[in-house]
Amino acid sequence: MSRASQLEQENDQQFHMLANKISTFKDIANEINGYAQEDSTTLNTMSGTMTRLSDEIKHGAHKLKRVVNSNPKMTRMVAIGVGVFIVLYITFNHFV
């Protein structure tokens, strides 16, 4: 075997090794791209959910404000009742 054909064979081997490495890198890049797309979809879904949750909280706070403004005496009585309940609950659970 001549020196030229031996070098050509070595070059072919190196070329195939390089092609295999490039193929592996492409597979890894495609896998990372798939994960990134899944994460993007998840984040978009979460963003929409958080926006809806925020809107619902604002809507509930607006309703609560209307109730409080419509009957402040009743609101005070309910707040005192809830406060007493919480104090009793904590007190009895602390000693039990």
Sorted by where each begins, the domain ranges of the chain are: 3-70
pLDDT, tens only, 30-51? 999 999 999 999 999 999 999 9
pLDDT above 90 coverage of the chain, percent:
73
pLDDT of residue 61 exceeding 90, the answer is yes
pLDDT of residue 68 exceeding 90, the answer is no
Whether the full predicted model's pTM is greater than 0.75, yes or no, is no
**Which amino acid does the sequence have at 48?**
G
- Sorting pLDDT into bands at 50, 70 and 90, what band is 67? confident
- Sorting pLDDT into bands at 50, 70 and 90, what band is 84? very high
Q: Length of the chain in residues, anyone? A: 96
Residues 68 and 75 sit within 8 Å (Cβ to Cβ): yes
- Sorting pLDDT into bands at 50, 70 and 90, what band is 96? low
Q: Please, what sign has the CA dihedral across residues 34, 40, 44, 46?
A: positive
Cα separation of 1 and 85, whole Å?
97
